Structure 1
Amino acid sequence: MRGTPRDVIGAPHPLLSAVAEPVDPTAPEVVAAAADLLATLRGEPATAGLAAPQIGLSWRLIAVDAGRHPEARSRAGELVLANPRLSGTARWGEWREGCASIPGLTADVPRAARITVRGHLPGTGEAVTIEADAFEARCIQHQLDHLDGLLFLDRVPGVLSLHRSLHSCDA
């Protein structure tokens, strides 16, 4: 299904601080939203991931394509997951990240460098397990935070971790 790019909403929009609702990954409206999310991500060349709340939907749905980033190692490619949940983490550290919903600002954010995430593919509802590391792991965690109503700024340990940015890139 071909999606339609949507506008990315910015902070302090209330959807960005709300916990997103679980979805039926086989529902036609969820499949259409997944296509829109992916189309929106493709239209944001400096962005490696988006969550449904960022396009105005309070649904547990994320899209990630971290393979374009030079720090990506696991390179799962374009990935859309419904109802994703983190099931394992390892090797914590701090890395710089930003967000399409908060342009012009980045911060050093503590994240796991290796993760396991489980979810379902929109359309078929097939259960999948993804193992990711490096940049891709951080990007997925960033999107999972959006589903829980958290922005990367909520994870910043202090004001000295904030940085101005000339461009925006999710995770």
Structure 2
Amino acid sequence: MSVQPIRLFGDPVLRTPAVPVTTFDAELRKLVADLTDTMHDEGGAGLAAPQLGVSLRVFTYDCDGFEGHIVNPTFDVVGDEEQIGPEGCLSIPGLSWECKRHLHVVAKGWNEHGEPISVEGSELLARCIQHETDHLDGVLFLDRLDAETRKQAMAEIRAAEWFGTPPPVVKVSPHPMFGKTR
């Protein structure tokens, strides 16, 4: 399909909870293809629809040998174990910090055709599922950092050359934006 511009930190769409997908049609399949192409082009492990400015609950992933997408995802935590590791985000390019996540999760949702799916795998995939689901809830991984690390992260973000770049202009989108259609 096509590579799309990624919305950067500061864009309000990244802080707005996405709406559930209700129609599994060609437009959704195009969105999944655009997310996949953009994720691969940017070298990311995952990409959520809000990062392309589309406020729908769908994300793609490609990490640790697991690749796919989930529409209207939820996840269940398996066990009490947690992991701490470096985490970055395509919407906060070139920067990463140590972030705590659950060690094991099982994600459930639907594929682009409306068929139910369940996804589980490596610790890295568990981190990716949690990170991308957060995006769909308007949460950034920065919100999961301890206070001192978050303060350092915000200073580094403000110093980044991309910070303050205006969001790309979307001329026409068939997808809901902030709960409204254009």
Of the three residues 58, 62, 84, the one matched with 1:61 is: 58
Check 1:25–1:81 CA distance in 2 against 1; reply closer, same or farther (3 A cut). farther
Shift in Å at residue 158 of structure 1? 2.3
Contact 2:39 2:47 in 1 (8 A): yes
CA distance in 1, matches of 2:73, 2:23: 11
Shift in Å at residue 131 of structure 1? 1.2
Scaled by the length of structure 2, the TM-score of the pair is 0.78
Aligned: 1:93 with 2:83: yes
Give the aligned partner of residue 105 of structure 2.
Answer: 115
Which structure: larger Rg? Answer: 2
- Which SS does the other structure have where 1:31 is aligned? helix
Amino acid at match of 1:92: E
Structure 1 portions without partners, runs of 5+? 68-74, 166-171
Contact 2:77 2:106 in 1 (8 A): yes
Scaled by the length of structure 1, the TM-score of the pair is 0.83
Q: Percent identity?
A: 35
Of the three residues 32, 48, 57, the one matched with 1:34 is: 32
CA distance in 2, matches of 1:27, 1:83: 14
Measured on the aligned residues, the alpha-carbon RMSD in Å equals 1.9
Query: After the TM superposition, which residues 129-140 of structure 1 pair with which residues of structure 2 at under 5 Å, given as runs?
Result: 129-140=118-129
Contact 2:77 2:102 in 1 (8 A): no
Give the aligned partner of residue 169 of structure 1.
Answer: none
Structure 2 portions without partners, runs of 5+? 158-182
CA distance in 1, matches of 2:78, 2:133: 13
Q: Give the number of aligned pairs.
A: 154
Contact 1:51 1:62 in 2 (8 A): yes
